[in-house]
Amino acid sequence: MKYKDWYDKIIKTDLTKRVEKSILGLVTKDNRVVKAINPHLFDQSAARSFTVKETNDALTNPLHITEVKYNKNNQPSIQYIGNNATIAYNPDSDMLVTGWRTGKAKKKKYGGDIK
């Protein structure tokens, strides 16, 4: 087995399972239950440098929760704006869709710690 195959099968799968275990079933500040995680969220957390802890904090202790917005494909999302990460949640599927680091402007607007 090549290293990449081993890494994808053993390490990445194990990491994904541990992350899912810490997030699935989580109850958000507005009493929604996370039932699924889009794999895109895992990719974005690595690419945009936000952690599982920051994801959990955004969902349970947000600076602000947006109203439901619809994209061009009519898919709904709610943004949980945390001090360090902003997480997009689909209320129809109870799925975390994507995330990114919360910018300074949003932190300032909603009273977060600006560092």
Annotated domain spans of the chain: 3-110
What pLDDT does residue 63 have? 97
H-only helix segments in the chain: 3-6, 13-23, 39-47, 52-60, 104-110
pLDDT for 3-18, tens place per residue?
667 656 665 666 677 7
Cα 38 to Cα 27: distance, rounded to the nearest angstrom: 17
Nearest to 44 by CA among 78, 1, 85: 85
Q: Residue 2: is it exposed, middle or buried by C-beta count within 10 angstroms (0-12/13-18/19+)?
A: exposed
pLDDT for 71-105, tens place per residue?
999 999 999 999 999 999 999 999 999 999 999 99
Cα 31 to Cα 60: distance, rounded to the nearest angstrom: 9
Position 114 pLDDT exceeds 90: no
Between residues 55 and 115, the one the model is more confident about: 55
pLDDT for 46-73, tens place per residue?
888 888 999 999 999 999 999 999 999 9
